[in-house]
Amino acid sequence: QRATASLTIDPAFEVGEVNPRLFGSFVEHLGRCVYSGIYEPDHPTATPDGLRGDVVALIAELGVTAVRYPGGNFVSGYRWEDGVGEQRPRRLDPAWSTVETNEFGLNEFMRFAEVAGVEPIMAINLGTRGPQEARELLEYCNHPGGTAWSDWRRSHGVEQPHGIGLWCLGNELDGPWQMGHKTAEEYGRVAAEAARVMRMTDPGLRLVACGSSNSSMPTFGSWEATVLEHTYRHVDHISCHAYYEEVDGDVDSFLASAQDMEHFIDSVVATADHVRAKLRQSKRIELSFDEWNVWYRRQRDLDAEPKWEVAPRLLEDNYTLTDAVVVGSLLVTLLRHCDRVTVACLAQLVNVIGPIMTEPGGPAWRQTSFYPFADAARHGRGRVLRVEPRSAQHDTAEHGTVDLLHTTAVQAEDGTVTVFAVNRATDRPLELTADVRAAGLGRVVGASTLADQDRHARNTREAPDRVRPGPLEGVTVDGGSLSATLPPLSWNVIRLGRA
Ligand code: AHR
């Protein structure tokens, strides 16, 4: 069977500039994300700070720009003071039923951010704690000195303030699984208060209010409206979290997961703009997709029996080629909405539903999902162009009729255009043509594809390079027209230069 799709690339039609924070990730004190993930002082590649050198190198290759920390569910019961200074108490972490040694804490994370070259995004505990502790934490982090909290930081060997600019006001506080979960009214009030006192301490902060934990929450929509009515004047972002998985082998619906993300974004934007009009505000609230990914066995992970171990193997999903293509498709959606989605964090970074896996004392390797993220982080910089493809379609059980092609195009400052394109058909290639005359494009700079005969193929410790991108052969630009054949079930990156 032959399937076709066509589009026009025209720089006159722009969605917006990509914010580099779109390529963020997330490190939570959960399983082995921190311990034997980013941090392992006894590892052969360890840096003087105890960070895993092999993981830091992979993070650079992945192109992560920002990292949210320390949770997630963990943050809602966390006492940040346990993780600084000499005394590091071991505590039970009720969020994941583990033992937290607190060997790694705030200043170790900030050192990690410096070494890895990423911007820190700090989440505060608004579950079991409140605005007062948030303000104290901020004073510890960002105040130069001469106060008890800032001088405490200096006594820990950190003379200069950390200058953390982006803060999340709690995590998923609409969720009954969350310690200290709240009604929208309760959370809205406490978040507004925390934001107000934090801004008094440091007026330059950007703040993220918690949106719904996912778009299936019973209060989705009304939660955002109520929270924003309380916080609109004090915050810059509202958060969105979304995890997807293949259910009962329904691969067509799974491959169309980005449809759900599209509706999610449209709906939160509509709610935020409605509140804006109601409150007669001029600024627009931006979306922080600060947790997104493919995640299997979510319910099982949340309901796991307590074992109270230190850094056990939790949420260590081993991703397939299909999962990687879905991750690519979700990246396409985030880029297509870059005018409103200005922060996004792939959850998480290492071992815990992460693109990077490690063995304690052993190697680190790339999961399949590593590749689309690395491609998007490297080439998805500049202006997103609005492309409206005409594509062959098919029916899905969950999302109705969807295009086989899911795509976006990003123009870099030098005029180079990168087309990111997913072929959602599992059984046939997709013949893609694009009219590129308006962009003055005349040559192929590079073209790669991530595809495999076996859609369940994955990378493991034993076979770390089983799935990796290869060249996409046969791409041409002729007389202002691009032609390419996208393999079945594939993630593709086509880079075009000026004639
Ligand atoms: O990323 C795993 C968990 O997913 C986070 O702790 C929580 O915020 C979300 O439910």
- What average pLDDT does range 337-345 have in this prediction? 98
Which ligand 1 atom is at minimum distance from the Cα of 95? Answer: 6
- What is the model's pLDDT at position 378? 98
* Residue 305 known to be catalytic: no
Angle at 379 (CA atoms; ends 123, 344), nearest 5 degrees? 20
Residues of the chain with CATH 3.20.20.80: 19-379
Interval 180-217: pLDDT, tens: 999 999 999 999 999 999 999 999 999 999 999 999 99
pLDDT given at position 305? 77
Rounded-to-integer distance, Cα 110 and Cα 52, Å: 15
Q: What is the pLDDT of residues 428-453, one digit of tens each?
A: 999 999 999 999 999 999 999 999 99
**Ligand 1, atom 8: closest residue by C-alpha:** 72
pLDDT digits (tens, 9 = 90+) for 78-128: 999 999 999 999 999 999 999 999 999 999 999 999 999 999 999 999 999
What confidence score (pLDDT) does residue 272 get?
Answer: 98
Please identify, by atom number, the ligand 1 atom nearest to the C-alpha of residue 348. Answer: 1
Inform me whether the pLDDT recorded for 2 exceeds 90: no
**Residue 73 CA, ligand 1 centroid: distance in Å:** 6
Domain with CATH 2.60.40.1180 in the chain: 3-10+385-498
Please give the mean pLDDT across all residues of the chain. 97
**Mean pLDDT along residues 230-251:** 97
Active-site residue, selected from the candidate residues 133, 136, 139, 172: 172
Q: What is the mean pLDDT of residues 50-68?
A: 98
Looking at domain 3-10+385-498, its CATH class is mainly beta
Distance CA 10, CA 235 (A): 35
Residue 73, pLDDT score: 97
Report which protein residue has its CA nearest ligand 1's atom 9: 72
Residue % of the chain over a pLDDT of 90: 97
CATH class of 19-379: alpha beta
Pocket test for ligand 1, best of 171, 174, 290 (most atoms within 8 A of CB): 171
Q: Which atom of ligand 1 is nearest to the CA of 26?
A: 1
Distance from the alpha carbon of residue 3 to the mean position of ligand 1, in angstroms: 38
Residue 246 has pLDDT above 70, yes or no: yes
Q: Check if 172 is active-site.
A: yes
pLDDT at res. 299: 65
Pocket probe for ligand 1: among 26, 27, 28, 212, the residue whose CB has the most ligand atoms within 8 Å is 28
pTM over the 0.90 mark: yes
Collect contacts of 274-279 with beta carbons under 8 A, ≥24 apart. Answer: 274/225, 275/225, 275/228, 275/229, 275/232, 276/232, 278/229, 279/229, 279/232, 279/233
% the chain with pLDDT above 70: 99
Measure the CA–CA gap between 181 and 172, rounded to whole angstroms: 8
Mean pLDDT (whole number) for 353-370: 98
Is 300's pLDDT higher than 80?
A: no
**Structure-token pair, residue 158:** 């950190």
Residue 37 has pLDDT above 70, yes or no: yes
Confidence category of residue 499, pLDDT binned at 50, 70, 90: confident
ipTM of the complex: 0.99
Query: H/E element holding 288?
Result: strand 286-294
| Across 401-417, average pLDDT | 97
Strand-pairing partners, residue 434, are: 7, 482
Ligand 1, pocket residues at CB < 6 Å: 28, 71-73, 171-172, 291, 347-348
Give the pLDDT score at 303: 73
Q: Which of 40, 81, 133, 291 is catalytic?
A: 291
pLDDT at 171 over 70: yes
Single out the residue of 223, 151, 177 nearest to residue 72, CA to CA. Answer: 177
Q: How far is the CA of 383 from the centre of ligand 1 (A)?
A: 31
Atom index in ligand 1 nearest the CA of residue 74 equals 6
Segment 40-68 shows an average pLDDT of 98
Distance in angstroms (rounded) separating the CA atoms of residues 353 and 294: 8
